[in-house]
Amino acid sequence: MANEVIRWDPFREVLSLRDAMDRLFEESFVAPRFFYSPDTYRRMNALPVNMYETPDEVIVNAVLPGLKTQDVNLEFQDGRLIIDVQIPAPQVENVTWHYRELASGQYHREITLPIAVNTDKIEATLENGLLTLRLPKAEEVKPKKIQIQTVSGSKK
């Protein structure tokens, strides 16, 4: 009979403990992909950003807590946005650290933009630790509305 009902067994598809342990040791010690990725070291000290596009511009945001405008170096070069910042480490003495998770040190980020921008009109603001860059799209890449001409009368 082709239409047999088979009772569902939730443990049938679960990995065996041996398979799970083999997988754990393989991924952790034998071939740790995280440590051997060529971009790993660059990403570990990269500044996280958000980038999104509107019809008129590209917006880039980065969180830079405690920094002033003079602590941030911004450049636009060959279609790439370059952000360099130095986040100072807290200068405290005679303390016992319980957590030390806030980032500090030199950060460098280069972002290749997906479209051409008007570099003369780039705006950057740093307010309450949020860096916002507004990169207006170049006129040649903005969508153009095409008007349809009405033809009055037709010739035969």
Q: What is the mean pLDDT of the chain?
A: 80
Determine, yes or no, domain membership for 21. no
Q: In what order do the strands lie in the sheet with 123-127?
A: 49-53, 57-63, 130-136, 123-127
> CB count, 10 Å around CB of 94?
4
Tell me how far apart the alpha carbons of residues 71 and 91 are, in angstroms, rounded to a whole number: 17
- Confidence band for 140, pLDDT divided at 50, 70 and 90: confident
Determine, yes or no, domain membership for 115. yes
Determine, yes or no, domain membership for 33. no
Determine, yes or no, domain membership for 154. no
Least confident of 3-17, 49-63, 81-95, 121-135: 3-17
> Is there a contact between 110 and 81 (Cβ–Cβ < 8 Å)?
yes
Q: CATH number, domain at 114? A: 2.60.40.790
Q: How many domains does the chain have?
A: 1
What is the SS3 string spanning the chain? CCCCCCCCCCCCCCCCHHHHHHHHHHHHHHCCHHHHCCCHHHHHCCCCEEEEECCCEEEEEEECCCCCHHHEEEEEECCEEEEEEEECCCCCCCCCCCCCCCCCEEEEEEEECCCCECHHHCEEEEECCEEEEEEEECHHHCCCCCCCCCCCCCCC
Determine, yes or no, domain membership for 28. no
41 pLDDT higher than 50: no
* Assigned token pair, 77: 């070069």
Which has more confidence, 80 or 8? Answer: 80
Determine, yes or no, domain membership for 123. yes
Tell me how far apart the alpha carbons of residues 92 and 8 are, in angstroms, rounded to a whole number: 61
> CB count, 10 Å around CB of 71?
14
- Confidence band for 133, pLDDT divided at 50, 70 and 90: very high
Is the whole-model pTM more than 0.85? no
Determine, yes or no, domain membership for 1. no
Summarize pLDDT for 61-85 with one digit per residue, the tens. Answer: 998 888 889 989 999 998 899 999 9
Determine, yes or no, domain membership for 127. yes
The percentage of the chain sitting over the pLDDT mark of 70, rounded to a whole number, equals 77
5 pLDDT higher than 90: no
Burial of 137 (0-12, 13-18, 19+ CB in 10 A): buried
What pLDDT does residue 27 have? 65
Range of the domain at 93: 45-140
